[in-house]
Amino acid sequence: MGTSYIELIVRLSLAFVLGGMIGLEREYRAKEAGFRTHFLVALGSALFCVVSQFGFGIDLKDSSRVAAQVVSGIGFLGAGTIIFQKNVVRGLTTAAGLWVTAAIGLACGTGMFMAATIVTAMMLLGLEVINAMIPQLGTTTIEISFSASSIEQVRVLIATMRHDGIEVQTYQIKERRTSQGEFVEANIQLKVKRGTTDTLRVIEYMDKFTDVTISAVEG
């Protein structure tokens, strides 16, 4: 074998470190795939690449075929992080991150350390630094759940939001009956622009209602 054990350790260790750095960013964002998932993807991709090059001796004529299957495998893994619910797609960024992390692992496995490091830096730059420097870019999906006294009250709220330029994507209204009377439970998904006062206005709308829950949904 033309590659020393020290170099193999370096390849796998760098894959572990770079994949872990991306995973920490995803973990900080409380995503489904965090530190453990990303470092495992990078480490596994690097190991597959090393095995395809040196694990089969001269019997394997095209070692790239083993590495190519990593891409297909990551496709299934990434698909598991994507959720389509109520006309909103979630998890696309995490799925794309897993795909790039696999590519970084493959680069480490082939000894392309500089390329792997540069791509990791670019990925973290795009996910964190640019997003923090230019927060007004893009939109955010906000999900609101609350209780109201009547369906008409919810409809008036939706009409007011649309009149004020806030995009109402979907909404659900359910009537409830208890020993204390009748009320409705509503769930509304909105799309608001980042860097504007839309989010604050949505919070102000909720002053008239009870049992309010507001959460941001990130792709």
Angle between helices 92-109 and 35-54 (to 10 degrees): 30
The domain total for the chain is 2
Is residue 176 domain-shared with residue 120, that is, in the same domain? no
- Closest Cα to residue 1, out of 62, 59, 63, 54? 54
Does residue 218 carry a pLDDT above 60?
no
Q: Which of 110, 133, 156 is the last residue of a domain?
A: 133
Q: What is the pLDDT of residues 7-58, one digit of tens each?
A: 889 999 999 999 999 988 888 877 777 889 899 999 999 998 888 877 666 5
Q: Are 142 and 218 in contact (CB under 8 A)?
A: no
Per DSSP, 128 falls in state: I
Is residue 126 domain-shared with residue 30, that is, in the same domain? yes
Is residue 127 domain-shared with residue 29, that is, in the same domain? yes
Q: Which of 133, 157, 183 is the last residue of a domain?
A: 133
Work out the pLDDT band at 205, boundaries 50, 70, 90.
Answer: confident
Q: What is the pLDDT of residues 149-162, one digit of tens each?
A: 888 888 888 888 88
Q: In what order do the strands lie in the sheet with 181-193?
A: 167-178, 181-193, 139-148, 210-217
The pLDDT assigned to 75 comes to 78
State whether residue 175 is helix, strand or coil.
strand
Taking the model in full, what pTM does it have?
0.66
Is residue 149 domain-shared with residue 120, that is, in the same domain? no
Which is it for the CA torsion 33, 35, 40, 42, positive or negative? Answer: positive
Q: Which two tokens stand for residue 158?
A: 């939706």
Q: What is the pLDDT of residues 64-77, one digit of tens each?
A: 677 778 878 887 77
The pLDDT assigned to 72 comes to 80
Q: Are 133 and 204 in contact (CB under 8 A)?
A: no
Alpha helices, H only, the chain: 5-28, 35-54, 64-79, 92-109, 113-124, 130-133, 151-163, 198-205
Is residue 48 domain-shared with residue 110, that is, in the same domain? yes
Is residue 101 domain-shared with residue 23, that is, in the same domain? yes
Is residue 38 domain-shared with residue 117, that is, in the same domain? yes
Is residue 121 domain-shared with residue 188, that is, in the same domain? no
Residue type, 110: T
Q: Which of 112, 133, 154 is the last residue of a domain?
A: 133
Cβ neighbourhood burial of 179 (10 Å; 0-12, 13-18, 19+): exposed
Backbone angles phi, psi at 82, to 5 degrees: -95, 130
- Average pLDDT over the chain, rounded to whole? 81
Does residue 131 carry a pLDDT above 80?
no
Per DSSP, 112 falls in state: -
Is residue 110 domain-shared with residue 15, that is, in the same domain? yes
Is residue 143 domain-shared with residue 206, that is, in the same domain? yes
Q: What is the pLDDT of residues 88-123, one digit of tens each?
A: 666 778 888 899 999 999 999 988 999 999 999 999
Range of the domain at 206: 139-217
Residue 161's CATH number: 3.30.70.260
Is residue 52 domain-shared with residue 152, that is, in the same domain? no
Q: How far apart are the first and last CA of the chain?
A: 45
Work out the pLDDT band at 164, boundaries 50, 70, 90.
Answer: confident
CA angle 206, 212, 214 (to 5 degrees): 85
Is residue 63 domain-shared with residue 121, that is, in the same domain? yes
The pLDDT assigned to 18 comes to 95
Ranking 59-63, 86-90, 214-218 by mean pLDDT, the lowest is 59-63
